[in-house]
Chain A
Amino acid sequence: MSLDRSPSRERGGWSSPGLTTPFEEANGKSYGGLDGKQDVSWAKARANSARVQDSQGQGFISRHYRRLSESLPHFAHGGQEDRFAEKEKLGRGRASRTSFKELPRRLGLLLSRRRKPVAVFVLMLLAVFAWFQKPISYWYRRTSVLGGGSKFVIILAANQGGGVMEWKGAREWAIERDSVKNKKRYVSEWGYELDIVDMSTKKRYAHEWRESWEKVDVIRNAMRKYPNAEWFWWLDLNTFVMEPTYSLQSHIFNHLDRTTYRDINVYNPLHIQHPPNGTSGDPNAPQYANYLDPECLSAEGDGDPNSINLIIPQDCGGFNLGSFFVRRSAWTDRLLDIWWDPVFYEQKHMEWEHKEQDALEYIYTNQPWVRPHVAFISQRLVNAFPNGACGDDRGLPDGGCAAVRPGDGLDPKECGVQGIHYQERARDFVVNMAGCEWGRDCWGEMYNFRQLSNRLNRSRWERFKDWWGDSMEKSKAESEQQQQQQQG
């Protein structure tokens, strides 16, 4: 016997145990090769090895067959085939196919099985939510990922012009108290940051050129103080948030492309030329009068709302910095840097009585790099004026602003970009009592707007109480009248 042959009769085939497959044992072929008379040929060995590989593959499948088939949904019911068949006879379809429809039932089952603990848990959860509803919604609205409230900082300029220049009277204190309280309430509603800055004329500026040009410094400080915030909303002290239920996100920032406009030609009380063309306005301008890049020449910048870094309302006289938004960016750093310059100041400080506002208008007009990143917003969205500021209130058209179409020649009155005055009917967001210190009554206006805001934002219960009280009074008055008539 040569060593080529299998050494073991009993086990059959080759000596390694893995080679004995059920097939070999069943058909007995392998025994035929082991009777010792037949030589082991190359072809046979190959056939054997092929079979070995084959059976190995089968072995894998058979070894894992159960597990694999178990994991497949429709083979899982092993010996219960007949039950499902029954079910199908009843026309119910397969359970796994209609899993979504069955979800409520399953949940019900789950609950019914652990009824008590689940009920207790749900109750406790509800109680926690009810009890801590304010802090939870505050936290939710603040988070930068969910609500995004901490991305907004309100800079409130308090104590304007106070300090060394003049003493504040009781009315000024009352205005300040009301205004601050109003912003605090708004901020606590939506999770924004509030930075109240003291704008009193400080000694360090009193003998300096930069007297009361602190807006730039204040914005810079706020940016340093809130390093994670994105948008900074400047508010003068004489402003009042009329609708604390409006969030900045839903009111303005979620659809900047619709709430703002970039083309200065849309509403242009200053008659700023756009596109910027040369500087001297000379009709025989030389060869390259317009050498600027297309983005600066475009009325819309690049058209992407993400490139807006400054949002300003325009009143009847031009830019209004009583309420404006500025976004943290490299562009903003540059603007804040160039906003105040000693050479500009030296030449213009007598002329620029609105200081930063005039300087910004000047820079916007004369430095083309600014334009692609500035957007304008209609005054009534963020900075509505009371009647008397910037002329008289023209009111809304009869059908409201929705009735005014650009083509039909109707007077738009206070609608759209030239709308300036506060409209109670439209529930405008913020009112700015601009210029009330010159001949108007600041405290009176503030008081009236506060009362109006409270009345407009009453809760249902308060509404009901007011309605009840009113109707009672009315009926009382009527009955008194009747009595008087009867007596008379």
Chain B
Amino acid sequence: MPRTQFPYPRKSSMPSPYTSARTSPYTRRRTLKALAPYLLAGLALLCLLIWLGSGGSSSAATYRPPGTPEVVIVTTIDPRLSESYKKNIKENRQDYASRHGYATFFPNTTDYDLMPNSPETWSTIPALRHAMTKWPHTPWLFYLTGTALIMNPAESLQDKVLEPRKLESMMITDRPVVPPDSVIKTFSHLRGERVDFVLTQDREGLAGGSLLIRTGEWAKFFLDAWYDPLYRSYNFQKAEGHALEHIVQWHGTILAKLALVPQRILNSYSRDSGGGNDDGLYQEGDFIANFHGCQRDQSRNCEEEMGPLMNRWRELRDQERRK
């Protein structure tokens, strides 16, 4: 059958499927091209918002309400001590705290439910845990034993120790944790930001009379582990002091957070207290004077020993006030 030939394509009432199929993806592509920058911008904005949102939530974790003290000074006090002694100790801490905007916390050594027969010195640890509960946003805890005095309150703890670069320059690396011959040594490379626990060493071992702990998950772990009932019942000769040496030497996650600093930075021993390093003895101008062992030793009297330095501290304070 011969085909009918038309001189030009017949115009039909139906639109040709080919033309519409061709023009419409074409126009759509053009539209897409024109809209692409806006779409991309919108997407970028969305990403930015998401990023900001996630950043916001992470910063909420480290949120610190205004008025949060940088450091809480914790001293456990034996309620059987004389009132004047207790008052002096508190006054000494409060003076330092008020200069730098720190808080103080003075629980009694009998305030915590220690197990029967465990020495009261163990109360240090629940006291620190308690301080962390009371000041949940404070970054550092400073424990100072009740037999020590703050003699030089001029410098804040941040400037003195806690600033990471300063800490790195001071910390003692690769030193046996318990002198002279423990095989466990402090880390030789440790970044100041990673340190969560700062303390000093005396001649016998770790000196727990003055220590700094960064609050947080690690601190909870460390304090709870240190306070474990099996350590308390183990009859360590120096109670929590030996328990501390034990966990630092046996548990790498604790050793990894520890920085030792020279004794006189945080914990100078007074002249007549035993066990001080030769270069750990108190000299005028040192931060702390610790009358180490005056409570344990029956022949010594802390209040009497402290008398002269207490007067000296008052003198210095009054001098400064008069200026």
Interface residues of A (CB under 8 A from B): 70-73, 76-77, 83, 86-87, 90, 95-96, 99, 102, 106, 109, 278-280, 282, 285-289, 291-294, 296, 330-331, 333-334, 337-338, 341-344, 347-348, 362, 366-370
Q: Is the CB of B130 within 8 A of A70?
A: no
Q: Is B276 an interface residue (CB 8 A)?
A: no
Given contacts A106-B25, A367-B224, 8 further A-B contacts (CB under 8 A): A106-B21, A280-B114, A288-B107, A288-B111, A293-B129, A330-B218, A337-B251, A368-B220
Q: Are B220 and A296 in contact (CB under 8 A)?
A: yes
- What is the distance, in angstroms, from B80's C-beta to the closest C-beta of chain A? 15
A287 to nearest B CB, angstroms? 5
Q: Considering the chains assembled together, what is the distance between the CA atoms of A367 and B129 in angstroms?
A: 12
Contacts of B217 in A (CB 8 A): 330-331, 369
Assembly CA distance A393 to B23 (angstroms): 72
**Shortest distance between the CB of A278 and any CB in chain B (Å):** 3
Is the pair A343, B33 in contact by a Cβ cutoff of 8 Å? no
A-B contact pairs, 17 of them (CB 8 A): A95-B24, A106-B21, A109-B17, A109-B21, A279-B115, A282-B113, A285-B113, A286-B111, A288-B130, A289-B113, A330-B218, A333-B253, A344-B228, A344-B230, A366-B229, A369-B220, A369-B221
Checking B127, B132, B251 against A338 with a beta-carbon cut-off of 8 angstroms, the contacting residue is B251
Asked if B6 lies at the interface with its beta carbon under 8 angstroms from chain A, I say: no
Instruction: Quote the shortest CB–CB distance from A284 to chain B (angstroms).
Output: 10
B residues near A87, Cβ cutoff 8 Å:
15
- Chain A interface mostly: helix
- Is the Cβ of B34 less than 8 Å from the Cβ of A71? yes
Interface residues of B in 222-279 (CB under 8 A from A): 223-225, 228-231, 233-234, 246-247, 250-254
A348: B residues at CB distance < 8 A: 230
Would you call A347 and B233 a contact (CB within 8 A)? Answer: yes
CB distance from A361 to the nearest CB of B (A): 13
Central interface residue in B31, B133, B234, B254, by most chain A CB within 10 Å: B133
Report chain B residues within 8 Å CB of A367: 221, 224-225, 228
B132 contacts which chain A residues (CB < 8 A)? 293
Contact A347 B113 (CB under 8 A): no
Interfacial chain A residues near B24, Cβ < 8 Å: 95-96, 99, 102, 106
Q: Residues of B contacting A289 with CB < 8 Å? A: 112-113
Contacts of A70 in B (CB 8 A): 30
Instruction: Look across to chain A and name the residue whose beta carbon is closest to the beta carbon of B130.
Output: A291
Chain A positions within 8 Å of B13 at CB level: 86, 90
Nearest to A297 among chain B residues (CB) is: B133
Contact residues of B between 78 and 118, Cβ < 8 Å to A: 107-108, 110-116
Query: What is the CA–CA distance of A287 and B109 in the complex, to the nearest angstrom?
Result: 11
- Taking the complex as formed, is B296 at the interface, i.e. its CB lies under 8 A from any CB of chain A? no
B136 and A293 within 8 A (CB): yes
CA of A344 to CA of B231 in the docked complex: distance in angstroms? 8
Smallest Cβ-Cβ distance to A338: which chain B residue: B225
Q: Which residue of A lies closest to B234 (CB)?
A: A343
- The CA of A247 and the CA of B231, in the complex, are separated in Å by 43
Of all chain A residues, the one with the shortest Cβ separation from B22 is: A109
Interface residues of B in 14-59 (CB under 8 A from A): 15, 17, 20-21, 23-25, 27-28, 30-31, 33-34
Nearest A residue to B252 via CB reads: A337
Contact residues in A for B220 (Cβ distance below 8 Å): 293, 296, 368-369
Expressed in whole angstroms, the Cα–Cα distance for A285 and B115 within the complex equals 10
Tell which of A71, A287, A293, A341 touches B133, judged by Cβ atoms closer than 8 Å: A293
| In the complex, chain B residues whose CB is within 8 Å of the CB of A292 | 129, 133
CB–CB B228/A278 < 8 A: no
Give CA–CA (A72, B34) in the complex, Å: 9
CB proximity of B114 to chain A, nearest CB, Å: 8
Contact A95 B130 (CB under 8 A): no
A342 touches B21 (CB 8 A): no
Residue of chain B at shortest CB distance from A282 = B113
Q: Which B residues are in CB contact (< 8 Å) with A293?
A: 129, 132-133, 136, 220
Contacts of B218 in A (CB 8 A): 330, 334
Find out whether the CB atom of A342 lies under 8 angstroms from the CB atom of B250.
Answer: yes
Taking each of A83, A279, A296, A344, which has the highest tally of chain B beta carbons within 10 Å of its own beta carbon? A279
Q: Which residues of B contact A286 (CB under 8 A)?
A: 110-113
A99 x B111 contact (CB < 8 A): no
Are A73 and B27 touching (Cβ within 8 A)? yes
A71 touches B33 (CB 8 A): yes
Distance between A181 CB and nearest chain B CB, rounded to angstroms: 38
Residues in A whose Cβ lies below 8 Å from that of B246: 343
Q: B114 — which chain A residues lie within 8 A by C-beta?
A: 279-280
Chain B residues whose CB sits within 8 angstroms of the CB of A278 once the complex forms = 112-113
**Chain B residues whose C-beta falls within 8 Å of the C-beta of A83 in the assembled complex:** 15
* A424 vs B40: C-alpha distance when bound (angstroms): 54
Say which residue of B17, B23, B108, B221 sits within 8 Å of A334 (CB atoms). B221
Give the one of A95, A331, A337, A366 with max B CB within 10 A: A337
Report the Cα distance A99→B21, complex, angstroms. Answer: 10
Q: CB distance A369 to B230 under 8 Å?
A: no
Q: How far is the CB of A72 from chain B (nearest CB, A)?
A: 8
**Cβ B221 vs Cβ A366 within 8 A:** no
The answer to whether the Cβ of B146 comes within 8 Å of any Cβ in the partner chain is no
A96-B27, A286-B110 in contact; A366/B130 too (CB < 8 A)? Answer: no
Contacts of A90 in B (CB 8 A): 13
Verify B30–A71 contact, CB threshold 8 A.
yes
CA distance A487 to B180 in the complex (A): 102
- Cα A278 to Cα B227 with chains together (Å): 11
**What's the nearest-Cβ distance from chain B to residue A199, in Å?**
23
Complex Cα distance, B31 from A286, in Å, reads: 76
A288 with B112: CB separation less than 8 A: yes
**Is B153's CB within 8 Å of the partner chain A?**
no
Residue B126 at the chain A interface, CB threshold 8 Å: yes
**Which chain A residue lies CB-closest to B16?**
A83
Determine whether the beta carbon of B229 is less than 8 Å from that of A337: no
Q: A106-B21, A287-B111 are in contact. Are A76 and B224 (CB under 8 A)?
A: no
- The docked-state distance in angstroms from the alpha carbon of A291 to that of B27 is 71
Chain B residues closer than 8 Å to A342, beta-carbon distance: 250
The residues of A that contact B115 with a CB separation of less than 8 Å are 279-280
Q: Which residues of A contact B228 (CB under 8 A)?
A: 344, 366-367
User: CA A73 – CA B223 in complex, angstroms?
Assistant: 70
A-B complex: 5 closest residue pairs judged by Cβ atoms: A278-B113, A291-B130, A369-B220, A367-B224, A293-B133
Contact call A337/B27, Cβ cutoff below 8 A: no
Cα distance, A102 to B133, chains bound together (Å) = 65
Are A369 and B113 in contact, CB atoms less than 8 angstroms apart? no
A290 → chain B, closest Cβ, in Å?
9
Q: Knowing A342-B250, A343-B246, A369-B224, say if A291 contacts B17 (CB, 8 Å).
A: no
